[in-house]
Amino acid sequence: MDRTNRQILAQLSRDGRLGWQELGRRVHLTGQAVAARVQQLTEEGTILQFGIVRGDLRRHFITVFLDGPRFEAIETFLAQHPDVESASKVAGEGCYHVVLACADEAGLEAFTGQLQPYGRYRVASELRRIRHGL
């Protein structure tokens, strides 16, 4: 990855709403050249998504410990659940780390109830966000 691509990623990380012309001005390229580079970064998987992080939701960090090798089933469940902001299969402590973003404690309770058939879990809840980002 070259210096210009790193600059583009840094600018988009700060403000994903930048237009191609403004982004190009900041990294010393034309808007068309920036658009082509962003498209390439997206196609190769460097940029996974563009989105928003909602500040009105409570976040819970859940470590899932599977009882058995039900990887496909839980991954399908996690991928389809609307309140799962992110989920990662991990090595080390637990099998999966999940970030759940929901409006209230009832959302957390409903989610953990749905997790029970897969195994055990541990929850840590966000008190306050220090840094915002995707």
What is 3-43's CATH number, 1.10.15, 1.10.10, 3.40.30, 1.10.20? Answer: 1.10.10
Q: How many CB atoms lie within 10 A of CB 16?
A: 14
Instruction: Kindly report the pTM of this predicted structure.
Output: 0.75
pLDDT band at 131; cut points 50, 70, 90: confident
Do 13 and 53 touch, CB atoms closer than 8 A?
no
Residues 6+ apart with CB under 8 A from 54: 101
Encoded tokens for 29: 């390229």
Assess contact for 86 and 101: CB atoms under 8 A.
Answer: no
Is 58-125 a domain of CATH 3.30.70.920?
yes
User: How does pLDDT run across 14-66, given as a tens digit for each residue?
Assistant: 888 999 999 999 999 999 999 999 999 999 999 988 877 788 899 999 999 99
Residue 133, pLDDT score: 63
Domain-wise residue ranges, the chain = 3-43, 58-125
